[in-house]
Amino acid sequence: MDEEDLFDKIQDMLGKLPDNMNILQEQIDINLQMEYFKAAQKNREKPVENIISKKELLFSDEITKAEKKWLLVQLATIDNIEAFRTIERFVKEGEKDLREWAVLAFQESRMIIESSLLDENQVFISTGLGGKGAKLRYFIVLLSNSGEDFTEVQCKIIQSEFSYIFKQSEAEVEKYDFPGPMATILAIIPIQTPIKDLLNKSVDECNTLGNFIRSDFIVTNVKILTINEIQDFLRKHNISGN
């Protein structure tokens, strides 16, 4: 599917896993990330001098939440350890509804500090589902070949085979669900692992015990799809999921 081709291209582009790679660990809505990156770019085009003098405003009621978001962006884009520590404190102590924005600011600030200290640019990879160490999190949907619900035995086969094969590739399944004629899997997979090959191998192993899983599947690292979103995707691509 298109998503798998994109993942393969990213892996080819990266080649050998760079030492200076940073992966966003948390699950943050991709639209919020895009909003943050646009704000950061706007700030780089017209940075404000002595912005560090305003850092304590983050913890006051003197400015609005929108102004705090902008101040976080401004602090994140300067090479200053005091700004970094301020953002770090805000992640822990600031308003909860600004935490995800602050996490993005913290990540950017840390990269700027590291780039300065190590005298090399840092590589930042972010997805909606985040990651863990040098691995990315993926949401995977398998479909029943018969269009009927997976049986209890089939569910156990999926859990057993996928967990075993994923472990061989240093991948990790975090969660299984079996809604109707589908199986959904939330998994952490090393960024260099060819995800299409991994999933094909896992499906093939399961199908040696009954050919009960379709060969096509859905995989994304943008978000955890709802049942309605999965069904909409299947209809859009003329795939029968039930």
Rounded Cα–Cα distance for residues 136 and 210 (Å): 31
CB-based contacts of 213: which residues, under 8 Å, 6+ apart?
142, 143, 144, 145, 158, 183, 203, 206, 207
pLDDT, position 2: 47
Residue-by-residue DSSP string for 73-115:
HHHHTS--HHHHHHHHHHHHHS-GGGHHHHHHHHHHHHHHHHH
Contact 165, 189 (CB under 8 A): no
pLDDT, position 118: 67
* Angle, vertex CA 201, rays to CA 192 and CA 1, nearest 5: 70
Contact 26, 103 (CB under 8 A): yes
Nearest to 177 by CA among 142, 132, 127: 142
Q: If you count them, how many residues does the chain have?
A: 242
Q: Residue written as tokens 């079996």?
A: 178
Which residue ranges make up each domain of the chain? 18-125, 134-236
pLDDT, position 179: 94
Residue-level pLDDT, tens digit, the chain, 242 residues: 444 454 555 555 444 455 556 677 788 888 999 999 999 988 887 777 789 999 999 999 999 999 999 999 999 989 899 999 999 999 999 999 999 999 999 989 988 888 777 666 656 677 888 888 888 999 999 999 998 999 999 999 999 999 999 999 999 999 999 998 999 999 999 988 889 999 999 999 999 999 999 999 999 988 999 999 998 888 887 776 54
Rounded Cα–Cα distance for residues 62 and 189 (Å): 44
Rounded Cα–Cα distance for residues 209 and 183 (Å): 16
Contact 94, 66 (CB under 8 A): no
Question: Which CATH architecture is the domain 134-236 placed in?
Answer: 2-Layer Sandwich (3.30)
What are the tokens at 38? 């646009």
CA 66 vs CA 54, 63, 72, 76, 96: distances in Å = 15, 8, 10, 16, 14
Q: Which residues of 33-68 are buried (b: 16+ CB within 10 A; e: fewer)?
A: beebeebbeebeeeeeeebeebbeebeeeeeeeeeb
Q: Please, which residues bridge with residue 30 across strands?
A: none
Furthest CA-CA distance within the chain: 67
Rounded Cα–Cα distance for residues 110 and 85 (Å): 9
